[in-house]
Copies of this chain bind each other. A is one copy, B any other.
Amino acid sequence: MNFNLLKTDGSARLGKITTQRGIINTPAFMPVGTNATVKSMSPDDMKELNTEILLSNTYHLYLRPGHDIIKEVGGLHKFMNWNGPILTDSGGFQVFSLSQLRKIKDNGVEFRSHIDGSLHFLTAELVMEIQGALGSDIAMIFDECTPYPADHAYALNSLKLTTSWAKQCIDAKNEGQALFGIVQGGMYKDLRKQSADELIPLEFDGYALGGLSVGEPKELMYEMVNHTTPMLPTEKPRYLMGIGDLLDVLEAVAAGIDMFDCVMPTRNARNGALFTSQGRISIKREEFKMDSSPLDPECSCYTCRNFSRSYLRHLFMTREILSMKLNTLHNIHFYLEFFRKMREAIGKGEFNQFRKEQTPILQNNFRSGK
C-alpha cells in the first residue's frame, strides 16, 4: 500500500492510496459491508457506483460464517465477489458495543456472541489471524474502544492496553496486508497525545482515530479530532473510524482526515431517510403519494433516473425489498458524489467555500410528514 498526498487546502488533504486491488482517492468514504455484503446491494451495484473501497467487520465474519470458512473458499474478496480494496476493522468496537458479558484481560477480551451466547476470547494475535484469513487489503489493530464517559485513569489504562495490543499486532502482521494503528485516549488531550506518541514509532501504514462518536457531545468530538489529527504523520493516511454524518465529515476533512466509514447512508436508506441536494427527506411523507418527479432531480443515480417519489413511497409503505435496494443505491451514490465534490474542491483550493455552501443544506433535515 502506498499513499500520495497530492494537495493540501488549509489542513484539508487530497490524496491517493494505491493498493494491489485498486486506487482509493481520498478523502474517501467506505460503505459498510458488515456480513460480507453491503446490505441490499450486489457487488455489481457497488462497482457501478464507482465504489473504491468497502469496509467489512471482522467481529461479524469471525462469528458467522467463521474466518476459517472464508479462508477455505478463497478469502473475502472471492467469497463476496468484490475485487476492489477491502478494509477490515479489528472487531474491537463490536466487542464493546454488541457482545455480552465481556471481560477485558491483559491479553485480550472474553465475550459472549450477540448471536448465540457462545463464549469467545479475542486476542491481538487472533484478530490478526482472522484478518489474514479474510485477506483484506487494510487491517486494523485490536484496540479497546474507550467508552464515554471514562475517567482519566480508565482512559489511560485503556490506551496502554491498546498500545500493548498494537505491538502484538505489528509482530503478527500479515504479508501483503497494510495495518493501521488506532489512536485512543478518550476525551483527554494529553492521553490522545500519549497514544499518538506511542503508536507513531511503530510505523503503521496509516493511523485511525478511535473512540469517537461514542456518545460525547459533537463539540467535544470536533475538539478531539482537531487536536489529534495534526499529530499524525503527514505521509500516512488518516482514518476517522465510524463517523459519517456529513457535517462531521466536513469538519474532519478540514482537520486533515482522509478516510471515513459509516452505516448512516445504508441504514438511513432502509429506514426511508434519503439524502438529496436540498437536504434529507423521509420518503414516507404523504405529499409524495402522487409525486411523479424523481427523488432528487439533480441526482444521476439509477433510482433517480428511473423511478418517481410516488413509486419509492409505495415500495417503502408496502415494505418491499426493492425499496431498500433503490434507497440504499441512492444514498451511497449521494455519499460518493459528496466525497468526489469535496476532493474536487480541495483540488481547486476551494474547500472552505464548499464547506460553507454545503453546511446549511446538510442542516436542512425535512421532518417526516404524517
Contacts and interface: CB of A to CB of B under 8 A. Distances in A.
Contact of A322 (B40, B306, B318, B326): B40
Nearest to A319: B35
Contacts of A79: 308, 310-311, 314
Counted per complex, copies of this chain come to 2
Interface of A: 35-37, 39-44, 64-65, 69, 72-74, 79-81, 289-292, 302, 306-308, 310-311, 313-315, 317-318, 320-322, 324-326
A29 B206 CA distance: 55
A310 B39 contact: no
Contacts of A315: 35, 37
A239 to B, nearest CB: 26
A36 B69 contact: no
A317 B65 contact: yes
A320 B290 CA distance: 31
Given A322-B42, A325-B321, A325-B325, A69 B310 contact: yes
14 contacts: A36-B314, A37-B322, A39-B321, A40-B322, A42-B302, A65-B289, A65-B310, A69-B290, A72-B292, A72-B310, A79-B308, A79-B310, A321-B321, A325-B325
B322 A41 contact: yes
Contact of A72 (B44, B69, B290, B307): B290
Contact of A321 (B302, B314, B324): B324
Contact of A39 (B292, B306, B308, B322): B322
B320 A69 contact: no
Most buried by B among A41, A302, A325: A325
A73 B311 contact: yes
A35 B314 contact: yes
Contacts of A43: 306
